Amino acid sequence: MATVSSDLSGRRILLIISGGIAAYKALDLIRRLRDTGADVRCILTSGGAQFITPLSVAALSENKVHTDIFSLTDESEMGHIRLARDCDLVLIAPASANIIGRAAHGLADDLAGTVLLATDKPIMIAPAMNPVMWENKAVQENLGILKKRGYTLLSPGAGDMACGETGTGRLAEVPDIVKAVSAFFLQGGPLKGLKALVTSGPTYEPLDPVRFIGNRSSGKQGHAIAEALALAGAHVTLVAGPVKEPVPRLVHAVHVQTAQEMLDACLKALPVDIAVCAAAVADYRPEETSDTKIKKTGKEPMTVKLVQNPDILATLSQSNRRPKLVIGFAAETNDGLENAKKKLANKGCDWLVLNDVSGGKVFGQDSNIVTLLQKNGAGVSADTWPEKDKKEVARDLVAQIAASFK
Ligand code: CTP
């Protein structure tokens, strides 16, 4: 099993840098967060830009810096709503008395304020200001409001201040902020405490010691889902067929070859709260597997008798230890929606992710166009997503899963 480390690879942090002399420390913070593997996107407020330049922030984060809500380019490339949602954590460091007050009162007349209202992600706040300002009742009351709303406060330290005064108000030390962010990811996440099972990749059904019946599934989508679930805090067991795709971090992987082995591994992983069956399981296997390499006989035709494999998705969906949420995939070349609806009903799962695999599309590629079918009451809703990277499909699916467990 992969060990849980404090590394932040794959975590997406939206850093809001507000005004104050401590803004220069945000540059070091970006570097250190990136050293641990995090992807850091930054919003530099107009106050912050008085102290550090967008260019240094962009150079260190290796991402575009967002500065102005009314930038038309930004709004066409990435609107403020997406910016607010496309992250795992919002971190305000340094947070000035001004941004604290504006956040507490829901003011949205700049990008930072708007993003803080539009985000559905956890928010951490690391204040930095003059000690007298820090102790001011207005600031403390505003912070009280934010804490009540679920903001995590990274308290400022005491010591000599840049303004020449001594007291509490120094930005928390950068390594301590990084530690707090790591700790947050290890403990937090919307799926914290939940168990998930993911099947991924193909199965190989052996004919003899050197030959098998298999398919072209790369495991990219299933592995991406396993990683996204783990990053959301779930304890994930990934049952993987033979693939080149590396085991995602934070995930416990069980490697199998055949459909029967995949089913056995899945049943062993129960009980779980969530099951996502993304594997391209072979529907049939040779009735007999030869222990030795099958020789040419010179006779034609050569026939291989196939028998049906167990259906893992249907077995999980109909099990008496059924996961609360069971999600299947449907690879279809024609009449996709119609077939997918039938599959959803026949297999007994709750959601189905439909892929169009006509002409060999999807297998091995990095992007995917999917339709998410969800049972709701007696009906089924179908939502077709625009073409996305498979990792993004995984994140969006996990966001839907998290919402359904709220
Ligand atoms: N599946 C499974 N076990 C099987 C076959 C399929 O768990 N033996 C799961 C897949 O992981 C997927 C869903 O069932 O989540 C649908 O797979 P798909 O290959 O699209 O459909 P099949 O059930 O195999 O039906 P058909 O090949 O006739 O379209």
The DSSP-derived string for 24-59 is HHHHHHHHHHHHTT-EEEEEE-TTGGGTS-HHHHHH
Question: Is residue 224 within a helix (H) or strand (E), and if so which, with residue range?
Answer: helix 220-231
Is residue 349 part of the annotated active site? The answer reads: no
**Domains of the chain and CATH, by start:** 12-186 (3.40.50.1950), 195-405 (3.40.50.10300)
Average confidence (pLDDT) over 153-177? 89
The yes-or-no verdict on residue 3 having pLDDT over 50 is: no
- Cβ atoms within 10 Å of 264's Cβ, excluding its own: 16
In angstroms, rounded to a whole number, what is the distance separating the alpha carbons of residues 313 and 327? 8
Assess whether the C-beta atom of 351 lies below 6 angstroms from ligand 1.
no
Compute the distance between CA of residue 232 and CA of residue 234 in angstroms, rounded to an integer: 6
**Is 151 touching ligand 1 by the criterion CB < 6 Å?**
no
Average of pLDDT values for 365-388?
A: 91
Q: Is 227 in the pocket of ligand 1 (CB under 6 A)?
A: no
CA–centroid distance, residue 224 to ligand 1 (Å): 19
pLDDT of residue 173 exceeding 90: yes
For position 78, what pLDDT does the model report? 64
The rounded mean pLDDT for the chain is 91
| pLDDT at residue 375 in the model | 94
- DSSP state at residue 192: T
Higher pLDDT, 406 or 244: 244
311 lines ligand 1 (CB under 6 A): yes
Query: By the 8 A CB rule, do 252 and 234 touch?
Result: no
Condensed to tens digits (0 to 9), the pLDDT of residues 25-50 reads: 999 999 999 998 899 999 999 999 99
Q: Which one of the listed residues 87, 163, 266, 277 is annotated catalytic?
A: 163
Calculate mean pLDDT across residues 235-260: 91
pLDDT greater than 50 at residue 6: no
Q: Which of 256, 260, 307, 311 to mutate to test the pocket of ligand 1 (most atoms within 8 A of CB)?
A: 311
What are 96-107's pLDDT values in tens digits? 999 999 999 999
pTM of the model: 0.66
More confident residue, 342 or 298: 342
Residue 353, ligand 1, Cβ within 6 A? no
Q: What would the pLDDT profile of 281-330 be if each residue is shown by its tens digit?
A: 999 999 999 999 999 888 889 899 999 999 999 999 999 999 999 999 99
For residue 72, is pLDDT > 60?
A: no
Give the whole-angstrom CA distance, residue 118 versus residue 121. 9
**pLDDT of 193 above 90:** no
